[in-house]
Each structure stands twice: as structure tokens, then as C-alpha cells.
Amino acid sequence: MARTTIEPRTELGRQLEKERINRGLSKDEWAEELATSKPTYNQWLRGQEPMPVNIRNIAKTLGISTVDVWLWLEQDHAKDV
């Protein structure tokens, strides 16, 4: 089965992918770090907004505040992504 690369459509997706690559993790490993599944992670890359519990997990994993994550989501809303 051929792998498909998902290009992040959102600021959240770009930030998550940048951090995943910086840490040298596969998407499966990164999804586990974020306490989610790979399909859910891929949905975030495609533009689906995470649930609040996932936003908390994202912030904790990245070592940032949930406000920072919400600001990325707000940027996407402003661009109508």
C-alpha cells in the first residue's frame, strides 16, 4: 500500500507537523504522544478542529498553554480554513 502525504491545511497542523519532524517521530509515535490516534491526527492536519480535551493534550505535549493552541485555531478561523 502506497503512503500518502498529508499537507497540513491549518496553522495547528503546520505547528504539529513541524514539532513531529523536529522530534524525529513517525505519525503513529506522535499521535501516541498526543494521546490520540493516527486517523484523528490526520483529521487535524486536514482541518478538523480538535476537541477541548485534545487541545489540552496538545498544549501539554508541546509545553505551551492552551491559549496558544486556541490562537492557532483562531488564525485558521480568521482565514476561513
Tens of pLDDT, residue by residue over 12-59, are 999 999 999 999 999 999 999 999 999 999 999 999 999 999 999 999
Can you give the residue ranges of every domain in the chain?
11-78
CA distance 38 to 25: 12
Its pTM surpasses 0.85: yes
DSSP helix/strand/coil, 25: coil
Burial class (CB in 10 A: 0-12, 13-18, 19+), 42: middle
Confidence of residue 77 (pLDDT cuts 50, 70, 90): confident
Q: What is the topology classification, in CATH, of domain 11-78?
A: 434 Repressor (Amino-terminal Domain) (1.10.260)
